[in-house]
Structures are given as structure tokens and as C-alpha cells.
Structure 1
Amino acid sequence: MKILHYTIGFAPERTGGLVTYAKDLMLEQIHQNHEVFTLYPTTISSLNKKVKIKKGEDREGIKTYQLINSLPLPFIRGIRQPSDFMVKADESVYKVFLKDLSPDVVHVHSLMGLHKEFFKMARQLGIKVVFTSHDYFGLSPVPEFYFGGHSYDMENTNETWNIMSSLALPTKSLRLFQLPFFPLIRNFKNKISRLRNQDHSHNDKQLDFGEKLVNVNYNELRTYYQSIFKMIDSFHFNSHIAQQVYKNNLCFSPKGKVVSITHAGVKQHNLSQNTSDKLRVAYIGPDKDFKGFFDFINFAENCTDDKLEFHTYGYPPRDELSDKIQQHGRFSYMQVDDVYKNIDAIVVPSKWKETFGFIVIEAISYGKMVFTSETVGSKDLLPKNQVFTDLSEISMLLKDIDFSQTKVNVKKIDEHTKEMIEFYKEVVKG
């Protein structure tokens, strides 16, 4: 099968679960003897602003094409200037590219950067398009549909787009994401932030409505994205939560199905069991409100059960936390085994309606007990007694769980790839 993927790019320029999943899926599709191509947004030309598609270097066998002068990439903080995200491209650029490549199916992992004309030409040429619900961009101006402690997926209006975009960067600033040396800028910024122990996440900031809210008309842009979603032949929802949010916010009933995802690093691990009297409960992730970090800290610091021990990983240690929290900081891929050796249970307390959440399947692969909030998509993989509505339930849940009965049953990337190939075939057959 000949498959064209559209993704936001590759590491180190781009990071996150979407990037990991797209690359691992493509590599496994190649391993299973499929022909794989990818199109992704790269640089912006200051001399010639016409949209171009340029052949890039192969990435571990993946044949790449670079989209020059893509639409802006609003990875953070939303959209300030809607008209910049609806700029038309020359249809012939996409038509020639798709006609020459002639894929059996196109798998789109994000709407960011991609012109509407791409979808129009795919439809005109009879090429089927599949879309994976990695996040909510397009339904929302921010990927999480979450801002200032609130999820807006049930209040999707022009006013809420203004609220979610209230701290948006100008388009010129967003273009920095497409500079070749952007990873250096990002690393430098992260180091400075760590030194100052500052949190720059827009999701953790409270909005002063009187001073910051500007009334921008997003209705045309919202209609623009809805028209793109209408041209998608089938939606691959990575969880039932993602499916429900899309169904609630699309102006039509989307075709598709729920298929949970995985990545190449997920495999069965055999680690020794805890012999300590203490039950080591951990949070792994950034120190962000939308991830539920502060809820976990509050729960841990107020917990009176002396049999529980609390650990955190994944962010620079914060000075203001009490000694009751054992902060281990960031860790590398090479240290993952050591991290899980020192954990008995993982708590995933996300507050946004997370479309999946790889931490759940990774922890399961290490034979660890996992507890998630109701808003984590990968709760699909867990029994109901490991899903909570409030963190205060965790103490009781931990007492009721028989840790000796923990089973390792995870989906590996080769199995998932076969699922997706069958999904493509169903879509192509109509």
C-alpha cells in the first residue's frame, strides 16, 4: 500500500506524542512492506512567498517532502490574526504533488500548517483522507481546548475562542517555530525558565478579562476549519473521549471509529516487585495545571496515610514544595527503566480532555498500577476501579487494589500498524 502522511515534523525540531506516534507508525509500515511518504511544514521564504513542495532527505527509509511557506503553526497560546490562517495556496501545487505521488490513502495527523487546497485536491483526485484526533486544533484555537483552569469543549463560541487566544502570539512570532535553528532557541528559553523556576504555560495563567480580552471575530476561521473537516473521509479517534469531543463540536456527524494507539517504545517489561513497606505513588509529566500537577501536589501534601510515599518526575524541581514530595526532575529515555523500578503506582490527573495519554500505556507495559482522571483518553485501557473523579478517591482505591494481580497486556506498534492498514483499506473501499 502507498501511504502519504502529513505530520508537523520530526525531532528535534518538533516534540510530543503526535511526532513520536507518526514516526513510529511510518517506520513500522515500512517494516511491513508498505511504501511510505511524509509531507511536513518547514521553512518560510522571505523572498518568495509562494507555496512549494520540495523533496527532502529520507528519514530512516521514510521518503520526505517539505512544505515551504505553509500556514502558521500555533503550537501555543492560540490565534491572534485569523486571516493569516486562511491564506489560499495555488491549487496546482497540491494537485501536481498528489497526482504524481498517487497515494492509496493520505493520513493527516494535524491541520496545522496545511492549506484547505490540499484537501480539495485530494477529494478532486479521489484520494481518501484519514485524520487522527491527536488534539483539538481546528475545533479550537488551542490544541487542548483548555485555558485558565477550564475546558471549553462544551462552550465553543466566538467569545470562548477570544478567551482561549487571549495570550496569542502575533503571526510573525509564530514563524519563529519554522526557523532552522528553532530547537536552539527553545532549549535556551527552557534553560532560562528553569534557572528562574518560572512557568510560562498559557494554561496556568488566569485571564484578566477587563484588560486582556480583545474582541476578534473568529467565525470565518471556525467555518474554514469545519469545511476542512467535512472533506475528511474517516476519523481515527484515539479514544472515546476524543470521539465525543469531536462529535460535540463538528457541524456534521463524522464517520470513523475508535482505535487506541501506541508507539515503538511500548513492550513488555519485567521489573522486580517492591519489597518496601511504603507504597510509592508517582506523577510523571510537566509541572502544568492542565496536566493536574498542582492537584496531585495538593493531594500528596494533605494525605495522612503514612503508608504512601509520593514521587514526581518530568520537570525541574520546585523549591516551594515540601519534603513530603520526592522530586526527581527530568529524565532521559535511557533512564526510563530506573524510573519505573522506583514506582508502584502512577497517577495521571489531567484536567483537559486528553485525547489519549501515552504515560498510561507505558506504565502498564512496566506492570505498574495506573490511576487516571475521567478526562484521560487512555482510560479506555483501564478497568473502572482505576478511574477517579476526584484525587481524594486515590487513597481508598489504592487500598482496594491487589497489586499482585497486576497484568501486563499492551498493544505493540506492529499490531497497531496492522489495525491501521485494515482501517485504511476499509476507507479506500468506501
Structure 2
Amino acid sequence: MKILHVSLGLPPYRTGGLTKYCMDLMLTQIEQMNEVVLLYPGHHQPGSRSYIRKDRVEQGIQVYEIVNPLPVSLMGGIRKPKKFMKTSHMDHYVTFLQEINPDRVHLHTFMGIHRSFLEAAKSMQIPIVFTTHDYFGICPKVSLLDSEGGFCNDYGDGAKCIDCNRQSYRSMTLFLMQTKYYRKWKNSNLIKALRARMKKTITDKEMKKKVVPKTTIVPVNPKLAREYGMLRSYYIDMMRCVDYFHFNSTVSKMIYSQYLDVKGEVISISHRDIVDQRKIREFHTKDMPLRLTYLGPVDTYKGFFLLKECLDHISQTTNHLWHLKVYGGGYVEQTKEDQSRYSYKGRYGYEQLEEIFNETDLLIIPSLWKETFGFIGLEALAHGVPSLVSDYVGFTDLIQDGQNGMLFQPNSHDLIDKLLIVMEDREYLSQLNRNICTMDIHFTMDQHAKVMTDFYCSMKNSKLYKDHLTLGVMH
């Protein structure tokens, strides 16, 4: 089978769960004797039309670049919706598809992709599958969180998008981030320092918004609100070009089903670096600090500040011993008291996970957004580490509350209650660990890739498979 994947690009230029999953799936599909092609939104070349050029061959993957794509905002938001709805002629996409002649198109994102690409694939009757890594297209900031940090059920016909995207990247920033020069120097110390400074500014404004009441009502710009409404309609129309949705969790299926009539299946995901390393662990008694771990960006949407608020409350109202290690990018100011309770370790590499989990009693995943999956939870399972997970996280498909992990509703009351349970009863963690070690679960990417091949084949005759709640198996 010949599969055309459409993604944001390849490491190290692009990172994150979407890129990791796409890359690992492609490599495994090649090992299983499939032919794989990747198309990604590349750089801008002022003064010319959009076109596709052959980039290179990477580990057996034929890589093609869209020159002059739509802007790629990642999680930075959208200030000017019209720039994300520009049209492009279909002819160069038709020519490209005729040249490579794929059996399936597998979309991992709509970012940077013109609607005419999907229209070209539809006109040629090439089946299209889309993996729901996030909510871009429905939400300009990807997460479906409003400006107050709550879940966005109503975008006010675009009016609420204005406030959410007020601090979004400027057009020139997006342009520079898609240049060949940025791609080359992205991981230089200078660019890292600039990104950290930008992140600190945004974080400070978000925290200020939480503690300072609104005193001025900013009038809504009706023209801009309409543009955000048009933007959502534009991408919903693109989604209607998809033949089958690959939902990576029941959470993502629930969300997408609210916005359009979807056809597809839930298939939990994996990646090539996950290896079954489950083992029986020893947990200290209450006279020793409970070793808590948070892995992810120090950011509101990931629930970090909710977690810190809850732990600070426990510290002020109880004598329980605990310490939280924080691994991930982001900025936070520390008090002297914080320094005794929190350790900020900065970004981590995958090769560090075994050591990190060996020093972890409980992993906490406190996401406030409807996270479509969450690889870090799967990685904890693979090491036999219990996790306390927000029920907004798609990974909870693999958790039986109180059996192989703990779930909580993403509010301070429930999170505090669940944290106190494990702080007061360390044997509870031991039982969770034993249950994890005996649960029937498959971690291999090889198995998942085979299921995806079956899924591709099922698109031809619309016969999908029965429900199974096992990793890498349709359910």
C-alpha cells in the first residue's frame, strides 16, 4: 500500500506528540513493506504561487514540501483569520497526487494545508483519513480553552475568539518561524532564549488575568468576530472532505461529533520508543515524602497551575510529606517555601524517562483541555507507575479508576481529595502498581501499524471492526 501522510514536518524542526506519532507510524509502515510519502507545509517564497517541491528522502520516507503554504500557528493562536483562508489553485495538487498516486491520504493536521489539496484528493477518489491529534480548525488555539482557562462550549459566533487570540503570534513572527533560517537555527541558544522570553511574557499575562478583575469592557469588533466565524466554517468544510476519522480516544470522538457528522473509529495510539518495562515497585511509608512527578509544559492548559494551587493548599492545611518534580519547558517564580516542595528540572529527553519514573511514586496529568490522548500516561503505564489523570485526557480510555490508576474531575476540590487519598494510604499505590503489572495491554508500534493498515483497508468497503478497549486495537 502507498500512503501519503500530511503532517507538520520532521524532527528536529517539528516536535511533540503529533510529529512523534506520525514519524514512528511511517517508519513502521515502511518496515511492513508499505511505501510512504510525507507532505508538509514549508517555507514562504514571496512573489510566487504555491507549489510542491521534492525535499529529500529521510529513512526511506519520500519527503515533499509545500512552498507558500497557509501559515502554521502551532499553539500560538491566530490574529488575522483571513490569512488562514487564502485560496490556492488545485492544479499543482492534482499534478502532485497523479505523480505519486497514493492509495490513501493520512492527514495528521489541517495546519498550513489549502482546502484545494483535499478537494483534489476527493476529485481523484483517494480515500482520506484524519487522526485527531488536536482541535485546530475548530479552535484557533488548538485546545478549546477560553480566555479564562475554562472549556469553550460556545465561541460566541467568533466574538470570544478575539479575546483568546489577542496575544497570538504576529504575522511576521509566523512568517519567520516558517523560514529555512529558523528551521536551521531553531535550537540555537539565541532562538531558545527568545522563545523563553516570549513564553514568560505570555505566562505572566495569563497569571495576571487570573488575579486582576476585569475593570474595562473591551468592545467587540464585529468584523473580526465574523472572520473568526468564517475561519471555523472554512475548516469544518475541510473536515467534511475526510472519509474516515481516526479518533485517538473517546474524548476526541466526543468533541468532533459535536461539530459535524463524523464517520470513523477510536484507535488508541503508541510510538516506537515505548517498551514494556513494568515491574513491582516499592513505596515509602508516610514518614517519607511522596514522590510526585509532573511531565509537560508549565502552562495553564496543561493544568500545572491548578496542580500547584492544590498542592499549596495541602501544604498549608496538612502535615503530609510530599515533593513535586517538574519536567518541562516554561517559567514560574519560586518562593523560598516553593524551593523545599518543588524541583524544576527543565526540559527532559526521552532517554531520561526510565530514571525519572524510577524516582516517581505517582505521575500527575492535570490537563484542563480535552487532551486527545497523552503519551506520557502510556509511558508511565509501560514503567508500572500509577498515574492520577484528569478525566479530560484521552489516555483515560486505558485507565480503570481505582484499578490501574486514578481519575479526577479537573477542579481543585476533586484533585485535592484524590491527592490526600494517596498521601494517607501508600498501600493504595502499591495495589495500583500490582494491577498495572498484570493488566493485558500491548505497547508495540508494530501491532498498532497493522491495525492502522486494517483501518485503511476498511475504508474501501466501510466495514469497520468491533469495539475493543486494548491499545492499538479498534474500539
Unaligned 5+ residue runs, structure 1? none
Pick the aligned partner of 1:429 from 431, 456, 461. 461
Alpha carbons 1:45, 1:69 under 8 Å: kept: yes
User: Which residue of the partner structure matches residue 383 of structure 1?
Assistant: 400
Root-mean-square deviation over aligned CA pairs: 2.4
> Over residues 4-54 of structure 1, what are the superposed CA-to-partner deviations in whole Å (9 max), with x where a residue is unaligned?
000011112111110111000000000111110010011110242x11111
- The DSSP-based 3-state class of the residue aligned with 2:416 is helix
TM-score normalised per structure 1? 0.92
TM-score normalised per structure 2? 0.84
Pick the aligned partner of 1:296 from 287, 302, 307. 307
| Distance in 2, Cα, partners of 1:307 & 1:410 | 35
User: Which residue of the partner structure matches residue 200 of structure 2?
Assistant: 198
Alpha carbons 2:151, 2:369 under 8 Å: kept: no
User: Which residue of the partner structure matches residue 164 of structure 1?
Assistant: 164
Q: Does 1:267 align with 2:284?
A: no
User: Which residue of the partner structure matches residue 240 of structure 1?
Assistant: 250
> Over residues 81-136 of structure 1, what are the superposed CA-to-partner deviations in whole Å (9 max), with x where a residue is unaligned?
22211211111101111122111110000000111111111111010000011000
User: Which residue of the partner structure matches residue 210 of structure 1?
Assistant: 217
> Over residues 161-195 of structure 1, what are the superposed CA-to-partner deviations in whole Å (9 max), with x where a residue is unaligned?
22322223333321122111225356534335658
Code of the residue aligned with 1:143 in structure 2: it is V
Residues 219, 308 of structure 1: alpha-carbon distance in 2 compared, 3 angstrom cutoff? closer
User: Which residue of the partner structure matches residue 389 of structure 2?
Assistant: 372
Alpha carbons 1:300, 1:325 under 8 Å: kept: no
Residues 169, 311 of structure 1: alpha-carbon distance in 2 compared, 3 angstrom cutoff? closer
Alpha carbons 2:374, 2:394 under 8 Å: kept: yes
User: Which residue of the partner structure matches residue 57 of structure 1?
Assistant: 56
Identity of aligned residues (%): 30
- The DSSP-based 3-state class of the residue aligned with 1:131 is strand
| Distance in 1, Cα, partners of 2:90 & 2:357 | 50
| Distance in 1, Cα, partners of 2:366 & 2:181 | 34
User: Aligned ranges for residues 139-150 of structure 1 at < 5 Å?
Assistant: 139-150=138-149
Residues 275, 65 of structure 1: alpha-carbon distance in 2 compared, 3 angstrom cutoff? same
| Distance in 2, Cα, partners of 1:76 & 1:205 | 20
User: Which residue of the partner structure matches residue 67 of structure 1?
Assistant: 66
| Distance in 1, Cα, partners of 2:344 & 2:172 | 38
User: Aligned ranges for residues 62-101 of structure 1 at < 5 Å?
Assistant: 62-101=61-100
| Distance in 1, Cα, partners of 2:100 & 2:457 | 18
Deviation at 1:197, TM superposition (A): 9.1
User: Aligned ranges for residues 345-364 of structure 1 at < 5 Å?
Assistant: 345-364=362-381
Code of the residue aligned with 2:64 in structure 1: it is Y
Deviation at 1:297, TM superposition (A): 1.6
Range moving further from structure 2, 139-148 or 117-126: 139-148
Q: Does 1:257 align with 2:265?
A: yes
User: Aligned ranges for residues 110-121 of structure 1 at < 5 Å?
Assistant: 110-121=109-120
Code of the residue aligned with 1:392 in structure 2: it is I
- The DSSP-based 3-state class of the residue aligned with 2:4 is strand
Pick the aligned partner of 1:395 from 416, 419, 422. 419
Deviation at 1:254, TM superposition (A): 0.6
> Over residues 316-361 of structure 1, what are the superposed CA-to-partner deviations in whole Å (9 max), with x where a residue is unaligned?
6743334122333332233222111111110100111111111100
Q: Does 1:312 align with 2:332?
A: no
- The DSSP-based 3-state class of the residue aligned with 1:302 is helix
Range moving further from structure 2, 233-242 or 184-193: 184-193
| Distance in 1, Cα, partners of 2:68 & 2:78 | 18
| Distance in 1, Cα, partners of 2:105 & 2:82 | 27
Deviation at 1:281, TM superposition (A): 1.8
Alpha carbons 2:247, 2:266 under 8 Å: kept: yes
Deviation at 1:368, TM superposition (A): 0.2
Alpha carbons 1:151, 1:353 under 8 Å: kept: no
User: Aligned ranges for residues 399-410 of structure 1 at < 5 Å?
Assistant: 399=425, 400-401=428-429, 402-408=431-437, 409-410=441-442
User: Which residue of the partner structure matches residue 355 of structure 2?
Assistant: 338
Residues 129, 305 of structure 1: alpha-carbon distance in 2 compared, 3 angstrom cutoff? farther
> Over residues 209-248 of structure 1, what are the superposed CA-to-partner deviations in whole Å (9 max), with x where a residue is unaligned?
7359644022322221121111110111111111111111
| Distance in 1, Cα, partners of 2:32 & 2:206 | 40
| Distance in 1, Cα, partners of 2:201 & 2:163 | 20
Residues 70, 194 of structure 1: alpha-carbon distance in 2 compared, 3 angstrom cutoff? closer
| Distance in 2, Cα, partners of 1:301 & 1:387 | 20
| Distance in 2, Cα, partners of 1:26 & 1:228 | 24
How many equivalent pairs are there?
427
User: Aligned ranges for residues 209-228 of structure 1 at < 5 Å?
Assistant: 210-211=217-218, 214-215=221-222, 216=224, 217=226, 218-228=228-238
Residues 204, 360 of structure 1: alpha-carbon distance in 2 compared, 3 angstrom cutoff? farther
Alpha carbons 2:71, 2:111 under 8 Å: kept: yes
Code of the residue aligned with 1:261 in structure 2: it is I
User: Which residue of the partner structure matches residue 6 of structure 2?
Assistant: 6
| Distance in 2, Cα, partners of 1:153 & 1:189 | 32
Range moving further from structure 2, 167-176 or 309-318: 309-318
- The DSSP-based 3-state class of the residue aligned with 2:36 is strand
| Distance in 2, Cα, partners of 1:364 & 1:203 | 33
Range moving further from structure 2, 142-151 or 191-200: 191-200
- The DSSP-based 3-state class of the residue aligned with 1:206 is helix
Unaligned 5+ residue runs, structure 2? 463-475
Code of the residue aligned with 1:172 in structure 2: it is M
